[in-house]
Structure 1
Amino acid sequence: MDTEPEDEAATLSPSQMRLTALIVATALFMQNLDGTIVATALPAMAKSFHADPLHMSLALTSYLLSLAIFIPASGWFADRFGSRTVFRAAILVFTIGSILCGLSQSLGQLIAARIFQGLGGAMMVPVGRLLLLKSVRRRDMIAATSWLTMPALLGPIIGPPLGGFIVTYLSWRWTFDINVPIGLIGIVAVTLHVREVKDAEHAGRLDIAGLVWSGLAMALLMSGFETIGRGLIPLGWSLGCFAAGAVASLAYWRHARRHPHPILDLTLMRIDTFANSTIAGSFFRVLAGAMPFLLPLMLQLGFGDSAAKSGTITFAAAVGALAMKPLAEPILRRLGFRVAMMLFGGLAVVFTAACAAFRPGWPELALDAVLLVGGVFRSLQFTALNTIAYADVPRSRMSAATSFYATFQQITLTLGISVAAGALEFTTIFAGHAEPSIADYGWAFLIVSAIGGLSVPVCARLSPAAGDDVSGHHAPPPAGPAIDANPAARQ
Structure 2
Amino acid sequence: MPVTAPQDAQTLRILPWLVAIAFFMQTLDGTILNTALPAMARDLAENPLRMQGVVIAYMLTVALLIPASGWLADRFGTRRIFILAIVLFSLGSLACALSQSLNQLLASRVLQGIGGALMLPVGRLTVLRVFPRSEFVRVMTLIALPGLVGPLLGPTLGGWLVQYASWHWIFLINLPVGVIGCLVALRYMPDLRGERMPFDTLGFLLFGAAMVLITVALEGLGSEQMPHARVMLLLFGGVACLATYWLHATRARQPLFSPSLFHTRSFSVGILGNLFARLGSGALPFLVPLLLQVALGYSPAQAGMMMIPLALGAMAIKPLAKPVIDRFGYRATLTGNTLLLGGLIGGLSLVGGDTSLVWLIVHLGLIGMVNSLQFTAMNTVTLLGLSNEQASSGNSLLSVVVQLSMSLGVATAAALLGGFTHPGGDEAVLQAFHLTFLCVGALAMLAAPLFLQLDKSDTHGPADDSSRLTE
TM-score by length of 2: 0.88
Q: Which moved more, 1:122-131 or 1:45-54?
A: 122-131
Structure 2 residue corresponding to 1:325, chosen from 315, 318, 329: 318
How far apart in 1 are the matches of 2:15 and 2:246? 36
Deviates more, 1:215-224 or 1:102-111: 215-224
Counterpart of 1:439 in structure 2 is 431
- How far the C-alpha of 1:114 sits from its partner, in A, is 0.5
Amino acid at match of 2:362: A
Residues 306 and 466 of structure 1: CA distance in aligned 2, closer, same or farther (over 3 Å): same
Instruction: State whether residues 380 and 463 of structure 2, in contact with CA within 8 Å, keep that contact through their aligned partners in structure 1.
Output: no
User: Once the two structures are superposed, what CA deviation does each residue of 1:317-338 show, in whole Å capped at 9, x if it has no partner?
Assistant: 0111122223333443444433
Q: In the alignment, which of 146, 153, 157 is matched to residue 151 of structure 1?
A: 146
Aligned counterparts of 1:329 and 1:82: Cα–Cα separation in 2: 37
Alignment CA distance shift 1:171-1:306 (3 Å): same
Task: Return closer, same or farther for 1:460/1:145 CA change in 2, 3 Å cut-off.
Answer: farther
1:113 correspondence with 2:119: no
Q: Is the 8 A contact 1:140 1:470 kept in 2?
A: no
Distance 1:30 1:63 in 2: 13
Tell me which moved more, 335-344 or 346-355: 335-344
Q: 2:396 aligns with which of 384, 395, 403?
A: 403
Picking from 35, 52, 60, the partner of 1:57 is 52
1:268 aligned partner:
261
Matched, 1:181 2:176: yes
AA aligned to 1:387 is T
User: Following TM superposition, by how much is the alpha carbon of 1:158 offset from its aligned partner in structure 2, in angstroms?
Assistant: 0.7
Q: Which residue of 2 aligns with 1:413?
A: 406
CA shift digits 1:241-285 (9 cap, x unpaired): 112222222322222222211223333222223222211111111
Percent identical among aligned pairs is: 35
Contact 2:11 2:189 in 1 (8 A): no
Residue 453 of structure 1 corresponds to: 445
Deviates more, 1:123-132 or 1:70-79: 123-132
Residue 188 of structure 1 deviates from its aligned partner by 4.7
Please tell me whether the aligned partners of residues 222 and 417 of structure 2 are also in contact (alpha carbons under 8 angstroms). no
Q: Residue 470 of structure 1: SS of its match in structure 2? A: coil
* 1:125 is the counterpart of 2:117: no
Structure 2: how far apart are the matches of 1:96 and 1:454?
Answer: 40
Which range moved further: 34-43 or 22-31?
22-31
Q: Distance in 2 between matches of 1:470 and 1:204?
A: 31
In structure 2, the partner of 1:342 is 335
Alignment partner, residue 69 of structure 1: 64
Check the 8 A contact 1:313/1:364 in 2, yes or no.
no
| Cα offsets for 1:215-258 (capped at 9, x unmatched) | 22211111111002531222221111112222222322222222
Cα 1:297–1:242 shift into 2, 3 Å = same
- Give the TM-score, by structure 1 length: 0.85
Give 2:364's aligned amino acid. Answer: L
370-379 vs 246-255, which moves further: 246-255
Partner residue of 1:391 out of 372, 378, 384? 384
Matching residue of 1:483: none
Q: Which residue of 2 aligns with 1:31?
A: 26
CA distance in 1 between counterparts of 2:79 and 2:26 reads: 18
Q: Matches of 1:317 and 1:11 in 2, distance apart?
A: 40
Secondary structure of the equivalent of 1:120? helix
Is 1:94–2:97 an aligned residue pair?
no
> Any idea what the Cα deviations from partners look like across 1:324-353, whole Å, max 9, x if unmatched?
223333443444433333343333223222
Range that drifts further, 278-287 or 357-366: 357-366
Query: CA 1:258–1:38 in 2, change beyond 3 Å: closer, same or farther?
Result: same
Query: Are residues 19 and 183 of structure 1, via their aligned partners in 2, closer, same or farther at CA, if it must alter by over 3 Å?
Result: same
How far off its partner does 1:142 sit?
7.3
Q: Deviations for 1:145-176, whole angstroms, at most 9, x for unmatched residues?
A: 65443320211111111111111110100011
Shift of 1:388: 2.9
**Match for residue 301 of structure 1?**
294
Alignment length (residue pairs) = 462
In structure 2, how many angstroms separate the alpha carbons of the residues matched to 1:156 and 1:446?
24
Distance 1:144 1:326 in 2: 18
Q: Confirm or deny: 8 A CA contact 1:138 1:470 kept in the other structure.
A: no
CA contact (8 A) 1:75 1:402 kept: no
Separation in 1 of the partners of 2:329 and 2:136? 15
- Counterpart residue type for residue 450 of structure 2: V
Residues 392 and 205 (structure 1), Cα distance of their counterparts in 2 relative to 1, 3 Å cut:
same
